[in-house]
C-alpha cells in the first residue's frame, strides 16, 4: 500500500503520544517544504504534495 492510500483510509485510534510525534514530524516537513518553495507559485506536483500534507494535518488533529 502506498502512503497516500494509508492516509486516505479511515483514521485509526492511535495513542496521543504517537499523534503528537506525527504532528511534530509534520511541522518539520512543512517547514522544509516551505523553505524549498519560498515565495514562488507551486508546481502541480508541489500543490498535490501540499494537499496531501494538509489532509494529513487535518486527520492528525482530529485524531488527537
Q: Are 5 and 53 in contact (CB under 8 A)?
A: no
Domain coordinates in residue numbering, the chain: 15-63
In the prediction, which pLDDT does 1 show? 47
**Percent of the chain residues topping a pLDDT of 70:** 77
**Percent of the chain residues topping a pLDDT of 90:** 9
What is the mean pLDDT of the segment spanning 4-18? 67
In the prediction, which pLDDT does 44 show? 93
What is the mean pLDDT of the segment spanning 33-56? 88
In the prediction, which pLDDT does 3 show? 58
Amino acid at each position: 500500500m502506498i502512503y497516500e492510500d494509508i492516509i486516505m483510509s479511515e483514521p485509526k485510534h492511535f495513542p496521543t503520544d504517537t499523534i503528537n510525534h506525527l504532528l511534530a514530524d509534520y511541522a518539520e516537513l512543512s517547514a522544509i517544504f516551505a523553505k524549498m518553495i519560498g515565495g514562488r507559485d507551486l508546481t502541480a506536483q508541489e500543490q498535490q504534495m501540499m494537499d496531501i500534507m494538509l489532509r494529513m494535518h487535518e486527520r492528525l488533529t482530529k485524531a488527537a
